[in-house]
Amino acid sequence: MKLELREITKRFGDFTANDAISITVESGTVHALLGENGAGKSTLMNVLFGLYDADGGQILLDDEPVTFAGPGDAMAAGIGMVHQHFMLVPVFTVAENVMLGHEQVKGPAKMLDVAAARAKVRELSDRFGFDIDPDAIVENLSVGAQQRVEIIKALSRDAKVLILDEPTAVLTPQETDELLEIVRQLRDSGTAVVLITHKLREVKAVADTITVIRRGKVVGTAEPSASQEELASLMVGRDVSMTVDKDEAQVGDTMLEVSDLTVVDEDSQVTVLDNVSFEVKRGEILAVAGVQGNGQTELAEAILGVIAASSGSVRLDGDELTGRSIRDNLEAGIGFVPEDRTEDGVVATFTVANNLILDLYQGAPYSRRGAIDPKVVTSHAEEQVERFDVRTTSIEALTGSLSGGNQQKVVLARELARDLKLLIASQPTRGLDVGSIEFVHKRIIEERDKGVAVIIVSSELDEVYALADRIAVMYHGRIVDIVEPDTDRDTLGLMMAGAHGDEEEAA
């Protein structure tokens, strides 16, 4: 199926999200839409999928104009979409999710034909090597597996065009590689794939055609052979440094001291942190590396007090943190960027302005005599939105209406607005484009250079190497070792897999 968008325009009030955008997607190809956060990529695809009505332009399938009153019309025409934030019912099985909204019935009683849905899941899973159990409960699946369920949903409805909206924003590197292989298989089977992303490596790995969108307009096309620097420049409209420029750390005395920290999961009684000990000094960045699920998330949350320590000690600037409230620890000088921004970082139904003061509103100058000062809140929000280049129609817009990357910028802007002693950032650039990543890395280095102790938890090894003054490697809830940032990748990879010590053990 050939898909053509001609002069698509979409406005929200005075804001033009899509300005006369034209693209053509051929069957059996991967067409990448590359652009910054808030460039208009997802809006364009929401128009195509029938979620928004266009203010101008045409959609053509096999050279015939079509109009969609909603996603049902788009799916009936052979268009499927996997959204950045999955549209799954967590307590349903895979088969139940796949048949939802497209239910088949059998017999005089018109009972739901769950067996047919199971068979469809198995058939598609086997064809593409998804390894998905149709009877698995969705909330028990990994994020990568949930995404494969979304793809199965689309393919079960005979999608000839599959839209993947920021598909790797919440995936681990291993899950990302698996997804890219799936994209190749879909392309080779004749499916037209529209890949919405801002990740240059992925574009170069799978795209046949690249269209670059900047601030709602098509600013150019490129071949996958183009360099990352060329693609980044097209995206951002300026030269972008692909490396982190930093001076040698000026390390001070110990700011954070973690001793024998142990956390046992209350539900499973599994030890997720096992006698973890380390320290972070003023003016240094300790990067925590490891395959996701080895205790990094729990470590960050235990330091702040989100989860309770079973035993051990966490001391910040000499003061004990364990047993204290999260608010007390934040007020002690901790900045915290959570791993999951949608669940723990922002309140989607609050405005951008209110999200920017979530941990500030109780004190001066944001409130006086128990009442929030709206002028101060507005001034603060306008300053932070400009400083962090948050793409929003207004500071009064609901944060949930922002793209994932712009929600991340709101979290970072809020946490870095305070005077900090310790910054903990889990996956700080997840979902950000290259220009924003460059900016965030600079801000993190600035915090370090001001004497703040910094802990970075990242599944991106490039980010670990770029930022770290020391690297702590975690495996099965323990710190395997703390090494220098010149440690080679092979050695680090072995440590992340649990091998450490002499050559015989590593082998």
pLDDT surpassing 90 at residue 19: yes
* Prediction pTM value: 0.69
Superfamily of domain 3-236: P-loop containing nucleotide triphosphate hydrolases (3.40.50.300)
How are beta strands 192-197 and 30-35 bridged, if at all? Answer: parallel
Q: Residue 505: what pLDDT?
A: 40
Q: How far is CA 320 from the centre of its chain?
A: 32
Q: Residue 333: what pLDDT?
A: 94
pLDDT surpassing 70 at residue 503: no
Q: Indicate the burial class of 20 (C-beta count within 10 angstroms; 0-12, 13-18, 19 or more).
A: middle
Q: Residue 179: what pLDDT?
A: 85
The percent of residues above 70 in pLDDT, for the chain, comes to: 97
For 45-87, the pLDDT digits (tens) are: 999 999 999 999 999 999 999 999 998 899 899 998 888 777 8
Distances, alpha carbon 406 to alpha carbons 14, 390, 424, in Å: 20, 6, 19
Q: Is 118 left (phi over 0), alpha (psi -120 to 50) or beta?
A: alpha
Q: Indicate the burial class of 322 (C-beta count within 10 angstroms; 0-12, 13-18, 19 or more).
A: middle
Q: Residue 170: what pLDDT?
A: 65
For 305-360, the pLDDT digits (tens) are: 999 999 999 999 999 999 999 999 999 999 999 988 878 889 999 999 999 998 87
C-beta separation of 183 from 129 below 8 A: no
Handedness of CA 60, 65, 69, 71 (dihedral sign): negative
Q: Residue 500: what pLDDT?
A: 61
Q: Residue 504: what pLDDT?
A: 38
Q: Residue 95: what pLDDT?
A: 92
**Which residues, other chains included, contact 376 with Cβ-Cβ below 8 Å and sequence gap of 6+?**
365, 366
Q: Residue 502: what pLDDT?
A: 42
Q: Residue 172: what pLDDT?
A: 63
Q: Which two tokens stand for residue 303?
A: 């330091």
Domain residues of the chain, as ranges? 3-236, 254-506
Q: How far is CA 402 from the centre of its chain?
A: 13
> Which segment of 99-113, 271-285, 363-377 scores lowest on mean pLDDT?
99-113
For 377-387, the pLDDT digits (tens) are: 999 999 999 98
Specify the fold of 254-506: Rossmann fold (3.40.50)
> Which segment of 285-289, 342-346, 415-419, 448-452 scores lowest on mean pLDDT?
342-346
- CA–CA separation, 445 vs 448, rounded Å? 5
Distances, alpha carbon 463 to alpha carbons 336, 430, 440, 457, 477, in Å: 18, 11, 11, 10, 21
**Mean pLDDT rounded to a whole number for the chain:** 88
Tell me if domain 3-236 and domain 254-506 are identical in fold: yes
Q: Residue 18: what pLDDT?
A: 95
pLDDT surpassing 50 at residue 298: yes
Q: Residue 84: what pLDDT?
A: 73
For 245-284, the pLDDT digits (tens) are: 788 889 999 999 999 999 998 888 889 999 999 999 999 9
Q: How far is CA 47 from the centre of its chain?
A: 23
Secondary structure element (H or E) that encloses residue 457, with its range: strand 453-457
Q: Residue 242: what pLDDT?
A: 65
- The arithmetic mean of pLDDT across residues 192-211, rounded, is 90
The percent of residues above 90 in pLDDT, for the chain, comes to: 50
Q: Residue 37: what pLDDT?
A: 77
CA-based nearest residue to 302, from 287, 321, 328, 284 = 321
Q: Residue 420: what pLDDT?
A: 94
Q: Residue 340: what pLDDT?
A: 81
- The arithmetic mean of pLDDT across residues 122-143, rounded, is 87
- CA–CA separation, 325 vs 293, rounded Å? 25
- The arithmetic mean of pLDDT across residues 159-187, rounded, is 83
Q: Residue 103: what pLDDT?
A: 75
- CA–CA separation, 442 vs 426, rounded Å? 16
CA-based nearest residue to 41, from 136, 178, 188, 166 = 166
